[in-house]
Amino acid sequence: MNDSKVNSFMDIRSATVAKMLEAKKEGVKVVGIYCTFCPQELVIAAGAVPVGLCGTKEDPVTAAEEVLPRNLCPLIKSSYGFAATNTCPFFVFSDLVVGETTCDGKKKMFEIMQELKPVHVMQLPHMSREGAALDLWVDEVRRLKSRLEEEFGVEITDEKIREAMDLVNKEKSLQKEISDFNRVSPPLLSGMDLLTVIWSSGFGFDKMEVIEMLAGLKDTLSSHKSLHGKPPGPRILLTGCPVGIGSEKVIRVTEELGASVVAMENCTGYKTLGLMSDTTLDDPIVALAKKYIQIPCSCMSPNRYRMNLISGMIDDFSVHGVIDLTWQACHTYNVESYEVGRLVKQKNLPYLHLETDYSSSDLESLKVRIQSMLEMIDGNESSGYRPGVRCC
């Protein structure tokens, strides 16, 4: 990572902490968000600041295990541990935390978190995106709107929601355009660059400032061949559970072994970047519900859109192999790995499913397994991998 435009995204979190310290003195409200299912447009329309909450490091897991089971997903334990130890400044600043029922572990963890901070949990339908399921989700979005209005003493108008929709649409569009620069070979951004940009954006205090940063990076990428200067290696698609700074070991190991993680399908990657709010609908609440219910999380059943998304990304990013990451005890992604593996094998590409946690205890075994996959790619003429050849 050798470009100042990318490096500047590393500073977003510390800058946000400083700005929030001042903003809280002026009475600005903050809403902490754990998941992409939370319609941040409503938070913005309420005049509050939506901010991502910490949950991607191993440090607070031990503290969390004093309350939560040890065999729980590390993302859940990390999230609760940060909150319980007051080591996530964004949680400390939050006047309200929005959770969701993407899994049973998170749902029950949010019950305990209520003792630390006001938590609003959105009940997510899991079966379909139409009919009764959509009706339920529309009601849940309306319920969040009412909670924000009541909590902060404001009125969220349709006009304010549409303005926020335009803002978030612009941010997502720029993130997608930046991600799409990696369709070329060699890729313009490393996997760590991508993670830094997309993940860090969620911690921004001012959405317009983040949009300006993204636009600046887009302009830089438009005039550069590559920002990381690495020779072309096997092109890897990372799928599966969310990854952030602190839980990026699979990306780091893969790229240290000479490959390029050209795209990430997960929630901190490409999964939500193509979903835009329809600002032409008469009811903006319905527009938000229709957007967010399309997120292809593994909690959805059936989850055909995710398979379509992965298939398209394999083709669009000229992928040579797929690594599917499951955090321990994340049952939905673990079960869905069967479908992902079948899809990848139908495309005659190497597929590697990794189940791990946030610790470094299995780094050597991860290296061995990833290295074996990369050697398979090097020896697989049918993959189309040719070092130094620009594919598109």
CA distance 109 to 29: 24
In 3D space, the residue among 296, 370, 376, 307 whose CA is nearest the CA of residue 340 turns out to be: 307
CA distance 73 to 80: 11
Query: Would you state the structure tokens that stand for residue 373, as one six-digit string?
Result: 């996959």
Which pTM does this prediction carry? 0.94
**Start-to-end C-alpha separation, the chain:** 23
pLDDT computed for residue 379 by the predictor: 77
pLDDT computed for residue 114 by the predictor: 97
Residue 310 phi/psi, 5-degree rounding, is -60, -45
CATH code 3.40.50.11890 for 4-161: yes
Q: Are 167 and 211 a contacting pair, CB within 8 Å?
A: yes
pLDDT computed for residue 387 by the predictor: 43
SS3 249: helix
Confidence bin at 378 (pLDDT 50/70/90): confident
Cross-strand bridge partners of residue 351: 322
Write out pLDDT tens, residues 351-372: 999 999 999 999 999 999 999 9
DSSP 141: H
Write out pLDDT tens, residues 242-257: 999 999 999 999 999 9
Same fold, 4-161 and 168-383: yes
Q: Is the pLDDT of residue 341 over 60?
A: yes
Q: Are 273 and 214 a contacting pair, CB within 8 Å?
A: no
Confidence bin at 2 (pLDDT 50/70/90): low
- Domain covering 168-383: architecture: 3-Layer(aba) Sandwich (3.40)
Secondary structure (H, E, C), 287-329: HHHHHHCCCCCCCCCCCHHHHHHHHHHHHHCCCCEEEEEEECC
Cross-strand bridge partners of residue 98: 33, 120
CA distance 238 to 384: 19
Q: Is the pLDDT of residue 17 over 80?
A: yes
The residues, ordered by sequence, that sit 6+ positions from 318 with a Cβ below 8 Å of its Cβ are: 183, 185, 235, 262, 384, 391, 392
Confidence bin at 390 (pLDDT 50/70/90): very low
Q: Are 237 and 319 a contacting pair, CB within 8 Å?
A: yes
Query: Would you state the structure tokens that stand for residue 284, as one six-digit string?
Result: 């903006």
CA distance 40 to 50: 6
**Which amino acid is it at 55?**
G
CA distances from residue 338 to 234, 299, 351, 389 in whole angstroms, order as listed: 23, 15, 11, 32
- Kindly report whether the peptide bond that precedes residue 302 is cis, defined as omega within 30 degrees of 0: yes
Q: Give the start-to-end residue ranges of the domains of the chain.
A: 4-161, 168-383
